[in-house]
Structure 1
């Protein structure tokens, strides 16, 4: 059994200060967002220390500070910077943990309802009058 298990296993080891990419969507660490909308690996993070034989503590950015900073080695990937084109490996999508901010201010909630979905928990919807917008913009 060990022979078959080790066929595809890669032994990776990182040192303190190494740059790694972290796979965040793997175990549902980001809730409420479909995994297809999340990048596979997030920006390069610095390895702070080796916690165990297969676990590393990484320095997460401020937007991801709510996550536990220790990751299994299978969720880490070494980051290689391209010396000729430094912007080549920079991710272009929205980072994980980013919150939406709206430029509209809610003036009044006119109505609410509970919407039932098949095979999912019900969600609540609100009808909102926005501050400074005409009646046609109620949503």
Structure 2
């Protein structure tokens, strides 16, 4: 399996994950490939290639309905990213008041960490709202 950081490093894959998150938050039970293609303005082969990578990283699950496939976000693999970021988000008082990161790197880590935590929270809540959960 590919390293999770390599998987989410690609902008198109992050766009797909964001779209799936937004759709899950609005109560959708899955998103078709054609909807993803339309929303991103990407070609179907490109979207399918990225969905395969996301599937192999267990970041998305797929439900087949006839010839159609519906994708949903699976946030559990993002826990690895969350765990990696936590030390960068700790209070600077724990580090003797001095940051071990440059100011711009610390800001980037904080922004990314908050976004990851927010996404994880939204996905968890969306799954809790699904029928049968």
Which structure is higher in strand share? 1
Q: TM-score range by the shorter chain?
A: under 0.3
Structure with more helix by fraction: 2
| Structure number with larger C-alpha Rg | 1
TM-score in terms of structure 1 length? 0.24
